[in-house]
Structure 1
């Protein structure tokens, strides 16, 4: 039977608004940009996304192979939270932060991406507001809208990407359901200090008291181990009990398709028993947002691995030197795989095409709610970094040949 072409399907209005938000920033870029079309070309220096361009850590394959062997014997079964995986993650998080996280309060998931989905579904109602730091990771706004909530951005200080405490205080209101922070911060590379996070906790404590309810922090700590000048990034969980920590192994291992991480309730999280039940329900309802049995069995070994931070730092220093030599303004990244650079052409989309014509691919800042900038990734290979550095050293010469 043929469909009646005079009728149409009625889509979810909430999801439609989220799709439009996605299209406005990332979606159109991925579908239509000549920059994306050049990815995979062996002639280009690809600095667009945080993908690996070098062989992966050998320990990843070793851990996964061992887990496959165990799974072949025990069966590829559903695992909610394998105790030894949960305990390994909890022990490492507690050691890193100096806090006593409980394994029952840590929920393994398919990365910080799915952790954010779970948190937004648990905390936000349609019409509520979720605060986030701008420039944001390019999925934040559409993900907030996907649960019917209203994304409300607070601009970081562009001089050093510092936390705008007064602006956050002013932005909190009766509709605020959660505050989403990201440190180390993608796309700027900023690592928020312990002092900044303590001051944020004071603001939220006062606002929670005023509103008569806790305002939780969703702390996206995907890059907590990708820092260059300290052992790890500070966490707001040290200062504010109503914090949910999100973490992913995909960044630490530079293996994003592994899709494995967790969300963890800070010690003393209010209504923790209720939140546990919420996550226990949301994870399967959301489409089984838990790692595979192979991933969970491999996790204790994977926990001990980390990408070569010295190599990433050398690439950062090399690009910073080349960019400054070419007259670009850049704040050196303190962590993550990224840096934001001021575009010499206010039209950052046009400038990304200028660089593309010179075989250098970058992410325009307009995709990140920050027009007039562009983001570079430090996960490009050494060859790509040097190729891009040569172009940056020459400065912006729009009328000159390639």
Structure 2
């Protein structure tokens, strides 16, 4: 018998993937260069040459077993040590190899973190708008996802609503900064206030509350700023990271969980995650990918194109009358639709070959997301289509 739960999921497939598939099909009809596809957050810049050179050198010179064999369940020891040293140097948090668990991308990192600190029935708080797959990631653990409504004026944390929702069943709080879908970077003030509340609630409830920080966009920050590192402000922090965006390696599926050395039981949490792997199959990330990223931990792809694209879109959208909070990072922008029903708005946009993602599944109806990780030339050409769309459909 087919599992009814997963069969039921076919009725509500990812809107992002559906739109991406539509864009691909439309591209076969009119040429993909004529489809302004803002659906899928797939990095559009090449990975650093240093990564490619490292992989080529490894394949030519290394022992085949070291690059093709199973990695240890917690990750390759030298890689874990390199990651710990890099984080310690960058953020002044005293990580050691024992605090690092290598994972299959950020999704794999989150899968372990959720199971590490919750039992079925426990609650994990997330802040809207949020990446829609969090609903499935959390729901499949048996934990319950509680959503804090957004503060749409700036998309920082809505603390009044948060304090109303947190309770004795709360075992973890999930944040994503820089944020998908808004592009907002949580300020240091926001992180500090969140930490203060969590410390107070831990004492009030008499149990740990873990902060799970999902940080795949950490290096994509604009205006010369730096994203605050949440683990510096709160001891019980699990940092979930992927190299997908910083090194443009989404297909390599490589990331990690970094356990704050001051967290409860910090010396054994990575070992416990190794046991979690036995139950969920997210184990033994690619040896090649681990060894290669360890050689380029100080590098990123040329991420400057994302800021260029953001500025083009932000200026054009505001000029056309859209309400939009200026992104501080990532490669997403999150305007308010020109009508209450963002699904209807995005459906109308398809007539102009503009592929936009309505934000109902992000927990923020009435808004839409644009993933502008596309060629700048294409971003510029899309503005004319946007202006026609707004003029003809909304008379603006």
Whole-Å separation in 2 of the counterparts to 1:45 and 1:368: 21
Match among 57, 73, 76 for residue 66 of structure 1: 57
Task: Report SS of the residue matched to 1:343.
Answer: coil
- Does 1:336 find its partner at 2:330? yes
The corresponding residue for 1:27 is 14
Distance 1:187 1:243, change over 3 A: same
- Does 1:142 find its partner at 2:129? no
Offset at 1:293?
1.1
The corresponding residue for 1:6 is none
For residues 3-60 of structure 1, the C-alpha deviation after alignment (integer angstroms, 9 at most, x for no partner) is xxxxxx2737xxx2x7757854x53563488457436733212111111345444333
Offset at 1:392?
2.9
- Does 1:299 find its partner at 2:293? yes
The corresponding residue for 1:375 is 369
Match among 42, 45, 55 for residue 36 of structure 2: 45
The corresponding residue for 2:199 is 205
Offset at 1:400?
8.7
Distance 1:22 1:319, change over 3 A: farther
- Does 1:11 find its partner at 2:12? no
> Structure 2 matches for 1:157-168, cutoff 5 A?
157-168=151-162
The corresponding residue for 2:68 is 76
Task: Report SS of the residue matched to 1:283.
Answer: helix
The corresponding residue for 1:278 is 272
For residues 190-225 of structure 1, the C-alpha deviation after alignment (integer angstroms, 9 at most, x for no partner) is 111112111111101111111111100101111111
When structure 1 is superposed on structure 2, of 82-91 and 317-326 the one drifting more is: 82-91
> Structure 2 matches for 1:312-351, cutoff 5 A?
312-351=306-345
Task: Report SS of the residue matched to 1:87.
Answer: helix
For residues 325-376 of structure 1, the C-alpha deviation after alignment (integer angstroms, 9 at most, x for no partner) is 2111111110111110111122212222222211221211123222211111
- Contact 2:118 / 2:172 at 8 angstroms: preserved in 1? yes
Whole-Å separation in 2 of the counterparts to 1:77 and 1:120: 28
Match among 96, 99, 107 for residue 93 of structure 2: 99
The corresponding residue for 2:108 is 114
Whole-Å separation in 2 of the counterparts to 1:28 and 1:337: 18
- Contact 2:335 / 2:367 at 8 angstroms: preserved in 1? yes
Aligned residue pairs total 388
Distance 1:300 1:230, change over 3 A: same
Distance 1:231 1:321, change over 3 A: closer
**Long gaps (5+) in structure 1:** 1-8
- Does 1:384 find its partner at 2:378? yes
Whole-Å separation in 1 of the counterparts to 2:11 and 2:144: 17
- Does 1:90 find its partner at 2:77? no
Whole-Å separation in 1 of the counterparts to 2:322 and 2:346: 14
For residues 250-282 of structure 1, the C-alpha deviation after alignment (integer angstroms, 9 at most, x for no partner) is 011122111111001112111223423311211
Whole-Å separation in 2 of the counterparts to 1:113 and 1:63: 25
Distance 1:160 1:48, change over 3 A: same
The corresponding residue for 2:252 is 258
Whole-Å separation in 1 of the counterparts to 2:190 and 2:346: 33
- Does 1:240 find its partner at 2:201? no
- Contact 1:66 / 1:298 at 8 angstroms: preserved in 2? no
For residues 151-205 of structure 1, the C-alpha deviation after alignment (integer angstroms, 9 at most, x for no partner) is 1011231011011222222211121121001111111011111121111111011
Q: CA RMSD in A?
A: 2.4
Distance 1:344 1:231, change over 3 A: closer
- Contact 2:357 / 2:368 at 8 angstroms: preserved in 1? yes
**Long gaps (5+) in structure 2:** none
Match among 119, 125, 142 for residue 119 of structure 2: 125
Aligned structure 1 segments of 4 or more residues deviating by more than 6 angstroms: none
When structure 1 is superposed on structure 2, of 288-297 and 387-396 the one drifting more is: 387-396
